[in-house]
Amino acid sequence: MSNELLNEVTVFVLAIFVGIEVISKVPTILHTPLMSGTNAIHGIILVGAIFIAAGASSSVTIALGLVAVMLATTNVVGGFVVTDRMLEMFKGRQQSSKTPQTK
Amino acid sequence: MNTLITLAYLVAAALFILGLKQLSSPKSARNGNFTAAAGMVIALVATIPQLHFTKAGITIIAIGVVIGSVVGTVGARLVKMTAIPQMVALFNGVGGGAAALVAVAELLKFGAHPAFTVAFPSVFSIVIGSVSFAGSMVAFAKLQELMTGTPITYPRQQLVNGLLAAAIVGFVIAVLAIASVPFSFLSLMILALVLGVAFVLPIGGADMPVVISLLNAFTGLAVAATGFTLNNFALIVAGTLVGASGSLLTKMMSDAMGRSLTNILFGAFGQVHAGAAAAAGKEGRSVRSASAEDLGTLLAYSRRVIVVPGYGLAVAQAQHAVRELADVLEKRGVEVLYAIHPVAGRMPGHMNVLLAEANVPYEQLKEMDEINDEFKNADVVLIVGANDVVNPAARSSPGSPIYGMPILNADQAKNIVFMKRSMRPGFAGIDNELMYDPKTIMFFGDAKDSLTKLVQAVKAA
C-alpha cells in the first residue's frame, strides 16, 4: 500500500467516527433539515466534476463533464438553499416561543 | 502552493464537521448550514489553481455552474413547503448521478488496465451513485404523486433484485480483473440504475423519508470513493462524513417510526397481502358521519380540543384554515392543542414547519410523548388529514405493516372527528379501525373546505 493510500484510508476511518459522533444526539424535529444539510455537503462532488470538466477535450468527456458539473452544482446550491428555507421556519418558531416563556 | 491547497481542504473539512455539529441542535442549526456552505466555497476556491483548463473545459464549467445554480436556486426557492421532501430527494439524486459520471470519466482516462486503487473506488462510485440517482428519482415520483405511493410488488421480486445484484457483481469483477472498457462500466451503470428503481418500487410512500436518508448516505459514500480515485481529501472527508452521519440518521429515523430498517426496506414483501386481507374483511361496515353544523356545536361547547394534523392538511394547504378554526374556538374559551406525531407530514419535523408557517404558536404544538396522556381528557380530537399515525392497528394487530409504530392515543378522546377526503386508506395503504369506532364521526371533504365550514358553524353556534 502506498503512503498516500494509507493516509487516505486513515482519514476515511477517522471521518466515519467523527460523522457518527457529531450527530449522535439530534432531536426528531431536526431529522429533515439535518438530512437536507448533509445532502448539500456531499455536493462537494462538484470539486471532482470540475476536475474532469476542466481537462475535457473529446466530445464524450465534454458531455460527461458538462452534465456532471450541472448536476453537482444543482446539488450544492439547491441543497444549501432548501435547508436554509427549512431552518428559517424553525427560527421564526423559536422566537415566537420565547414570548410566552417570559410571562 | 500544494501545502496551501491541502490546508484549505483541511479548513473546509473542519467547517463541514462544525456545520454538522451545529445542524444537530435547534438553536444553531441555521448557522450550521452557513458554516457548511462556507466550507464548500473554500474547497471550491482551493480547487481552481489546480486545474489545467482546455478551451472546452472552461466553457462547459461556466455553462454547467450557471445552469446548476439557476435550477438549484429556483427549485429550492419556489418549492412549496409541503413538497420539500421530494425536493431533498431530487437534490440528493443529482449528487449521486454526478458522482457516477465523474467515476466514468476517470475510468475512461486510465485505459483498459487501471491500477486497482483507481478502478475499485471508481466502480464502487458508479454503482452506488447510480443506485442513489435512480432510487431518489423514484422516491421523488412517489412523493410528488407522479406514481402510486403504495408499494409496487410483483412475483419473484426478491429473485429479480438478487439477479440484478449478481449481474452487477459480475460486471464489477469484469472491470477489475479483465478489462476496464466502456462496454463493461456502462453496462454496470445501467444495471445499477435499474437496481435503484427496483429497490425503491416496493417501499411505501410513508417510508420514503427513511429511504431518502439512506440514499443520502449512499451518495456520501460514492463521493468518498471518488475522493480515493482523485486522491482528494476534501471529497474523502465530506463524503465519509455524510455516509456515516447519514447511516446513523437513517437508523434514528426508523427508530422514531418504531420499525427496523430491514422491515422498512424489505417489509413490503408479503405484508401487503396481510394488510389487504385485513381490509377486505372489514368491507360493508358502517361509519357515522355528521353535518358541519352538528360538529360546529360539538366543538364550540367543548373545553379541550386536540388537533391531529397530517399530510392531508398539508396537501390541502389547510394549515391557515386550521389556525382560523383554533382562533374562533379559543375566543370561546376552548383550549386547543396540536398533537404532532414524529412522522406527521412526510418527514420528521415537516408538520412543525408547516404549522409554524401558518403562525400557530409554538407552545400549542405538543410532541407525542407530551400529549399522549392528555387525549383521555380531551372532549374532541380533530383528525385533519392524518391516518396511519392514529391507527390502533399499530398497537393491536401484529400482522399489520405499521405494527409497532408508536401512535397518538386519539382513540381515548371522548369524541373523535375524523376529517377525510374519502374512505381511502392512508399512505401505508391499510384500513383504519378508528374510523369504525362508535365514538368516531366522519366528516368527508377537502380539508380546507371542511375547516372553513366548521369555522362558520362554530361562529353560528
Interface-testing mutation among B60, B133, B252, B359, with chain A (most A C-beta atoms within 10 A) = B60
Pick from B126, B71, B18: which is nearest to A45 by CA?
A: B126
Pick from A5, A60, A45, A50: which is nearest to B109 by CA?
A: A60
Please tell me if residue B28 touches chain A, with a CB cutoff of 8 Å. Answer: no
Q: Say if the Cβ atoms of A29 and B239 lie within 8 Å.
A: no
Name the active-site residue from B207, B255, B388, B437.
B388
Residue A67 within any structural domain of the chain: yes
Q: Say if the Cβ atoms of A32 and B84 lie within 8 Å.
A: yes
Give, for B100, the enclosing helix (H) or strand (E): helix B84-110
Residue A31 within any structural domain of the chain: no
Please tell me if residue B69 touches chain A, with a CB cutoff of 8 Å. Answer: yes
Q: Say if the Cβ atoms of B72 and A37 lie within 8 Å.
A: no
Instruction: Residue B42: list chain A partners with CB under 8 A.
Output: none
> Could you give phi then psi for residue B122, rounded to 5 degrees?
-65, -50
**Which DSSP string corresponds to B155-207?**
TTHHHHHHHHHHHHHHHHHIIIII---HHHHHHHHHHHHHHHHHHHTTS-GGG
Residue A39 within any structural domain of the chain: no
In B, residues 115-144, which contact A (CB 8 Å cutoff)?
117
**Conformational region of residue B171, where left means phi above 0, alpha means psi within -120 to 50, and beta covers everything else:** alpha
Residue A103 within any structural domain of the chain: no
Contacts of B111 (CB under 8 A, 6+ apart): B180
Is there a contact between B169 and B195 (Cβ–Cβ < 8 Å)? no
Residue in B34, B57, B252 nearest the CB of A54 = B57
Is there a contact between B8 and B43 (Cβ–Cβ < 8 Å)? yes
Output the CA torsion B389→B392→B395→B401 (10° steps): -70
Residue in B85, B104, B236 nearest the CB of A12 = B236
Q: Say if the Cβ atoms of B57 and A53 lie within 8 Å.
A: yes
Residue A79 within any structural domain of the chain: yes
Q: How close does chain B come to A9, measured CA to CA in Å?
A: 9
Please tell me if residue B29 touches chain A, with a CB cutoff of 8 Å. Answer: yes
> Rounded to an integer, what distance in angstroms lies between the CA atom of residue B19 and that of residue B38?
9
Residue A52 within any structural domain of the chain: no
Residue A7 within any structural domain of the chain: no
Domain count, chain A: 1
For chain B, list the domains and their CATH numbers. 53-266 (no CATH), 288-460 (3.40.50.1220)
Residue A44 within any structural domain of the chain: no
* Cell triple for B31: 448557522
Is there a contact between A70 and B66 (Cβ–Cβ < 8 Å)? no
Q: Say if the Cβ atoms of A34 and B220 lie within 8 Å.
A: no
Helices and strands, number each (H, E), in chain A: 4, 0
Instruction: Give Cα A89 distance to the centre of its chain.
Output: 20
Instruction: Give Cα B235 distance to the centre of its chain.
Output: 25
Is there a contact between B233 and B9 (Cβ–Cβ < 8 Å)? yes
Interface-testing mutation among A7, A16, A47, A64, with chain B (most B C-beta atoms within 10 A) = A47
Buried b (16+ CB within 10 A) or exposed e, B294-327: ebbbbbbebebbbbbbbbbbbbbbbbebbbbbbe
Is there a contact between B331 and B461 (Cβ–Cβ < 8 Å)? no
Output the CA torsion B416→B421→B427→B431 (10° steps): 60
User: Coil, strand or helix: which one is B366?
Assistant: strand
Tens-digit pLDDT string for chain B (461 aa): 589 999 999 999 999 999 999 998 888 889 999 999 999 999 999 999 999 899 899 999 999 999 999 999 999 999 887 788 889 999 999 999 999 999 999 999 888 888 888 999 999 999 999 999 999 999 999 888 888 877 888 888 888 989 999 999 999 998 898 888 888 888 999 999 999 999 999 887 778 888 999 999 999 999 999 999 999 999 999 999 999 999 999 988 888 777 788 878 877 643 444 444 444 444 456 778 888 888 988 999 899 999 999 888 887 888 889 999 999 999 999 999 999 887 777 777 778 878 877 888 878 888 888 899 999 999 999 999 888 888 888 888 777 777 778 889 999 999 999 988 877 666 666 778 888 888 898 888 888 889 999 999 998 88
B388 is catalytic: yes
> Rounded to an integer, what distance in angstroms lies between the CA atom of residue B276 and that of residue B267?
14
Domain range holding A75?
Answer: 57-89
Q: How close does chain A come to B423, measured CA to CA in Å?
A: 30
ipTM for the predicted complex comes to: 0.89
> Could you give phi then psi for residue B450, rounded to 5 degrees?
-60, -45
DSSP B113: S
- Only one residue has cell 455516509, namely B243
